[in-house]
Each structure stands twice: as structure tokens, then as C-alpha cells.
Amino acid sequence: MNSPGSSFRADYPCSRPTPLLVALLIAASCACSQEFWPQFRGPNGQGLSTSALPPLTFSKSNAVWSVDVPFGHSSPCVWGNKIFLTSFDSQQLECRAYDRDTGKLLWAKLVTVDKIEHTHPFSNPASATPAADADHVIFYVASYGLLAYTHEGKLAWEKKLAQQVSRGQYGSGTSPVLCNELVVLALDSDEGGSRLLAFKRANGQLSWETPRPLIAAGWSTPVVWNKAGGSEIVLLGSKKLVSYNPVDGRELWSVPGFTVETACSPALDADRVFACSAGLGGRSSLHFEPSAWVQLLQLDANKDGKIQIDEVPDDFRLAMRPELPEGHPGRLLPFNVRDMLRGIDEDKDGAASENEWKKAEQGFEQSDVPVLMALRPGQFPKSEDRVAWTYGKGIPEIPSPLAYDGKLFLIRDGGLLQCMDTQTGTVLYHERLGVPGGYAASPVAAQHRIYLASQSGTITVIDARSSTLSVLARNSLEERITATPALVAKTIYVRTDKHLFAFSDK
């Protein structure tokens, strides 16, 4: 398949085009207009395809093909007749390429590292989605750096990033993105040195580097906002969203008010940037649910309405995400409850009362408030003037928002889907999809359909045009899904924890 931007030249002596020439010209034209899935969340990182015609219903039994793949969280990156992803198996990190028509493994390149980065049990060192253009596919391996290969698997350039970033217990999460002739990478750290980097795609030469002072570790991927007046690189990080000039990395504007930990990438439409961040522990709304205190009361052996510190087993953990199934690594709060109770025991009587617990919750709520903001383009004297509207309920922890058909869609753990009007922020519906459990993959869309993949392995398809929840199909693959699917031509490519699938209408 020819790459977009390629040209066909025929030096024929005849003045009239032959049928063969016509066919070749048509093929070349189709190749030039073909929209691939070149990076995380596809074209421009927005989860949307304007040309794809993916199937509505599918199952493992009618896959065009499926192939075993080692574990990893990176999403399929599709260019030409190849699919690129990273994997981590038996302490080995690999960059891989598969044939798009058959699923056959074309090449795998081992990445030799001095030390594998530490990650949360839910996460994986192969989490960054590659970025591809007509010449190269660029992989980011946080344990090593950037590696650019030709589509045939020849190393074109590499860039070791010696100062490995610390992202605490979670590991890395951001992916490289393409902007003009650059590949852009965010490296936010808990140990200082947070920065945004831009390298030339052709040779890996550093084009610019912009420090991000006072920014702690984050897992958001930058997006490129193309609009009247030029392009901007928009990156959400701890406590604020910042826009940068792609030419020199200069900060253009910023908006504060976000939470300490951010994982979602911004969504865009012609008029707005939509950015959201959940609170610490995955809190999705302004106020805590009462479930934590209810859980603690089960430990009240003497039934005095207080929780004696010595009543709490040392290994007891609160379920801060009760919507996740038992055994899910993100379900329990990873803190010692005894230490928490000692910290809130104001009268030092060796116990925590409900009032003491509620007071501690309120203080925490005020310091880290989940939020969704709709932001305007243009110049404003104050950052708050840029905010069109805000909202603070049902904010997802990992999946990025999706702006489509004049609506904003947010999916969070428990299968709770929220649909809002992009102009006003009015909630059109907030409903359960009927598929509970965790959600890590971001929504993707084409042909007025939205595909929502649950960790349990079901991809629910809804009608994006409807102002009420309209479920068109539920497709169960019975395998864990954490990677965001890719939509290209008539196919949806889905990576599970065991396989890479291709589903198309016959």
C-alpha cells in the first residue's frame, strides 16, 4: 500500500489513459486519502476516524484473524500494511510489527535496558503507544528512551533519556505524539526535572526542551490543537493545563485548578479544549461516597460507634474503588489504615470517631477536587476568563474524554457513561452501560458510533447522535482489555491481554 503523500508517475507515450493506468491512479488516490491510526487515540490523538467503517457486531469466532501477543498496555498503531506495538514478557521489552492483512509477526526488536522501570501491578512497562509516519515508527520505552525504526525494522535513530523519570508506584503512561515534523514527548517526574521535549522525526535531533517547574508525575499524553491562527501543543499535568508553541516550546497560556494526578488526555473540537482529572484514589466526584466509613464500622468489635486503632488488622485495606471486582489491583487503597486513623485521631483517645473521619474527608476533598473544564481559544487577560464551563461529577480516572457530534462522552469505572453538550456543559444523560467493572481504554468513534471497551473484555457500541443512551451492540471477547482499540478502513483492531484481533464486516 502506498503511503499518504506518495505520488504515482506514469511515463506513457499514449495520450489516452489505459484501463491499467486508470486503475493505478485510482489506487494511488485511495492510498493518499487513506486515514490510518498513527498514534495513541488515532489521528490527532482524538479517538476519531472520519473514514473508517468498523463493524457493529463481532466476536472471537468471526475475527478476520487473531494472533497471540505478549502482554502490554500499548495500543495498536496502524500505518500502511503494518501494525506496531510494544510488549513486555519474561522481563523482556520488545518493539513489534505485525502484518495488517494476516496478523503475522513481521519483526520484533529487543530493547536492552539496564533496569526495568517499576510499575503498579495494574500497569506495565510496555504502556506507551508508538507514533508512525510514512518513513518511521517511533517507540517510547520509559526504561530506555526513544527508538525510531523504518517500517521494515531497521533502526533509524535512538535517543537514550538517561534521566529516567519517577512516577511512583504507577510507572509511565504518556505516549509520543506527532506535530508537524516533530515528535513530542512529555516527561513529568516526582523527583524534579519535569519537561516537554520535541525531537525532529527524521533524525531524532533535539529541537527544543521546555522545563515544567513544579509539575509532579503525570500520565497524560499531549494533543495538538489545530485551529485558526495556528497549532498549539496542549498538555494536562498536575494542577494545571498548559499550551505550548510547537515552533520553540514557549508556553502560550495555562489554566490552573486540576488535581495532583492526571491521566486523561484532553479532547478537542473546533471551539473548545476539554480536560478532566479525577481526584487521588480515583475519586470521580466532589464528595466521597459514605462507603469508607461503612467498611470501617465492620471492624467496630465493641460496637461503640468508634474505630479503635487496635481493632484494625495491620493488613486491612479500604476498597476505595468498590465498583472494581475483587482482586483488581486498583480496587484497594494502598495505604495502611492504622496510620490513617492515628493521623485523624484529634483527641488522642486511641480511636477514630465518625466526626473525625468526616472532617478528614472534607479537608481532603477541598485539597484535590475532581474537575472537567471546557476551555476557549484566543487571548484572555486572566486564565479564568478562558473557562467556558466546569463540571465535577463522574470524572474518569484513566479513559480520556471524547468530543463527537456536538457531545462530550466520559466513561468511568462501573460502566458509568456521561454525555454532555459541548457548548453548554448540560448533562444529557448519565447512565450505566450494563457492563460493570473497570475501564482503562479510551472511547473511539466512527460513523456516529462510539466503541467503549471494558477491562472485562466487552466492547459496547452506542449511537453518538442520540441524546439518550442508545446501546447498539455489546461484543464480548472474554479477555481483558486495557489498550485503546484502533479504527482503520472497515476494521477495528483490538489488543487484549492475550491476543491482537482484527474484526471486519464480511
Can you tell me the mean pLDDT for 131-136?
96
Name the residue ranges covered by the structural domains of the chain. Answer: 1-34, 43-285+369-504, 291-366
304 exposure class (CB count in 10 Å sphere: 0-12, 13-18, 19+): exposed
Please list the helix, strand and coil fractions of the chain in percent, rounded to the nearest 5, in that order.
Answer: 10, 35, 55
Provide the edge-to-edge strand list for the sheet that holds 206-211.
Answer: 177-179, 182-187, 195-200, 206-211
**Share above pLDDT 70 across residues of the chain, in percent, rounded to a whole number:** 86
| Fold adopted by 43-285+369-504 | Methylamine Dehydrogenase; Chain H (2.130.10)
Task: State the pLDDT confidence band at 238, using cuts at 50, 70 and 90.
Answer: confident
Question: 279 or 181, which is more confident?
Answer: 181
Question: 406 or 7, which is more confident?
Answer: 406
Residue 316 in this model has a pLDDT that exceeds 70: yes
Q: What is the pLDDT of residue 365?
A: 56
How many whole angstroms separate alpha carbon 13 and alpha carbon 388? Answer: 61
Task: State the pLDDT confidence band at 380, using cuts at 50, 70 and 90.
Answer: confident
How many whole angstroms separate alpha carbon 305 and alpha carbon 297? Answer: 7
Residue 20 in this model has a pLDDT that exceeds 60: no
Comparing 191-205, 298-312, 419-433, which segment has the lowest mean pLDDT?
298-312
Angle at alpha carbon of residue 223, lines to 242 and 240, rounded to 5°: 25
How many whole angstroms separate alpha carbon 140 and alpha carbon 126? Answer: 9
Can you tell me the mean pLDDT for 177-192?
90
Q: How many CB atoms lie within 10 A of CB 365?
A: 16
Q: What is the pLDDT of residue 495?
A: 98
How many whole angstroms separate alpha carbon 192 and alpha carbon 118? Answer: 18
In the 8-state DSSP scheme, what is residue 152? Answer: T
Can you tell me the mean pLDDT for 471-492?
97
Question: 276 or 1, which is more confident?
Answer: 276
Residue 122 in this model has a pLDDT that exceeds 50: yes
How many whole angstroms separate alpha carbon 399 and alpha carbon 437? Answer: 13
Task: State the pLDDT confidence band at 1, using cuts at 50, 70 and 90.
Answer: very low
103, 94, 89: which is closest to 497 by C-alpha? 89
CA separation, residue 317 to residues 228, 313, 332 (Å): 51, 9, 6
Comparing 149-158, 253-262, 272-281, 318-327, which segment has the lowest mean pLDDT?
318-327
Q: What is the pLDDT of residue 47?
A: 97
Residue 276 in this model has a pLDDT that exceeds 90: yes
Task: State the pLDDT confidence band at 491, using cuts at 50, 70 and 90.
Answer: very high
Q: What is the pLDDT of residue 166?
A: 52
pLDDT digits (tens, 9 = 90+) for 433-443: 999 999 999 99
Q: What is the pLDDT of residue 363?
A: 63
Q: What is the largest CA-CA distance in the chain?
A: 99
Task: State the pLDDT confidence band at 356, using cuts at 50, 70 and 90.
Answer: confident
Q: Which three cell numbers stand for residue 85?
A: 506495538
Give just the sign of the alpha carbon dihedral 121, 192, 320, 345. positive
Residue 9 in this model has a pLDDT that exceeds 60: no
Q: What is the mean pLDDT of the chain?
A: 86
Q: What is the pLDDT of residue 302?
A: 83
pLDDT digits (tens, 9 = 90+) for 416-461: 999 999 999 999 999 999 999 999 999 999 999 999 999 999 999 9
CA separation, residue 227 to residues 114, 240, 404 (Å): 42, 22, 17
Can you tell me the mean pLDDT for 263-282?
88
In the 8-state DSSP scheme, what is residue 109? Answer: E
Entry field: residues in the chain: 506
Give just the sign of the alpha carbon dihedral 356, 362, 367, 372. positive
Q: Thinking of the domain 291-366, which architecture would CATH place it in?
A: Orthogonal Bundle (1.10)
| Structure-derived torsion over alpha carbons of residues 295, 299, 304, 307, reported in degrees to the nearest 10 | -80
Q: What is the pLDDT of residue 270?
A: 85
